[in-house]
């Protein structure tokens, strides 16, 4: 293990990798060139390749290790997806807070950024748009973490119950509902902070 490489079999290293992977998945949405319409095809291809490599890595990791939170096994791919939902909503909230008090960036207005993230969620994560809209109203950190994560090697025959395209043969249940309750729990945002006094509207959402 190199000093600069996270130990993904530890909770801290695992969360570090998830944080980097979340940035990779959002890719072009965080690149100003995209909003200035000079994002090249080569850059788009690199973006897609990076995202695919991350997801393949996580899938392989999930074949070898089991993730538990507070002793409850949870599906690793769902955790990765929910972490992305939380990050995307958090970045939109952050831009909503600061967009009126900073110099304008060519092409990247708050409204355009919000719409680009919404389109990304609808196109790439259609099954989680409701979660995204819910988290948008939650005042929680946009890099998800938890103090009670356990990572343990899988035993022979201990495969995820939630498997796409394969028969469910798991001996252990991975609880996605519990995972959602843990990850999406938090206080609602103070809507006054996001109120557009000129429009009289909650401007995190389309007017």
* pLDDT band per the 50, 70, 90 thresholds, residue 70: very high
Q: Which helix (H) or strand (E) holds 108?
A: none
Which of these, 198, 203, 149, lies nearest to 10 by C-alpha position?
149
What is the reported pLDDT for 206?
62
Which position has the higher pLDDT, 202 or 171? 202
Rounded to the nearest 10 degrees, how much is the dihedral formed by the CA atoms of 80, 138, 117, 207? 160
* pTM exceeding 0.75: yes
What is residue 114's three-state secondary structure? helix
Per-residue pLDDT of 150-182, as tens digits, reads 999 987 655 554 444 333 334 457 888 999 999
Which position has the higher pLDDT, 156 or 25? 25
What is the reported pLDDT for 169?
38
Q: Which helix (H) or strand (E) holds 147?
A: none
What is the reported pLDDT for 203?
64
Task: Determine what percent of the chain is predicted with pLDDT higher than 70.
Answer: 82
What is the reported pLDDT for 163?
40
Torsion angles phi and psi, residue 47, rounded to 5: -60, -50
Distance of alpha carbon 31 from the chain centroid: 17
Average pLDDT, the chain: 82
Least confident of 92-101, 151-160, 181-190: 151-160
Which position has the higher pLDDT, 171 or 131? 131
CA distance 24 to 54: 8
- Is the confidence at residue 36, as pLDDT, over 70? yes
Contact 81, 179 (CB under 8 A): no
What is the reported pLDDT for 158?
59
* pLDDT band per the 50, 70, 90 thresholds, residue 200: very low
């Amino acid at each position: 293990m190199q000093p600069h490489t996270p130990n993904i079999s530890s909770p801290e290293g695992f969360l570090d990798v998830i944080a980097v992977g979340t940035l990779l998945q959002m890719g072009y949405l965080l690149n100003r060139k995209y909003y200035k319409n000079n994002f090249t095809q080569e850059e788009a291809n690199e973006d897609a390749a990076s995202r695919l490599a991350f997801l393949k890595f996580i899938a392989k990791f999930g074949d070898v290790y089991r993730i538990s939170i507070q002793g409850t096994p949870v599906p690793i791919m769902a955790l990765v997806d929910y972490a992305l939902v939380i990050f995307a909503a958090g970045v939109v909230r952050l831009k909503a807070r600061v967009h009126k008090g900073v110099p304008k960036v060519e092409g990247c207005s708050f409204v355009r950024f919000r719409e680009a993230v919404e389109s990304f969620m609808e196109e790439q994560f259609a099954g989680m748009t409701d979660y995204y809209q819910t988290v948008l109203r939650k005042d929680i950190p946009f890099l998800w973490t938890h103090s009670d994560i356990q990572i343990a090697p899988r035993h022979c025959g201990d495969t995820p119950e939630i498997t796409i395209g394969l028969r469910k043969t798991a001996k252990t249940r991975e609880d996605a509902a519990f995972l959602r309750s843990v990850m999406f729990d938090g206080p609602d945002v103070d809507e006054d902070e996001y109120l557009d006094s000129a429009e009289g509207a909650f401007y995190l959402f389309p007017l």
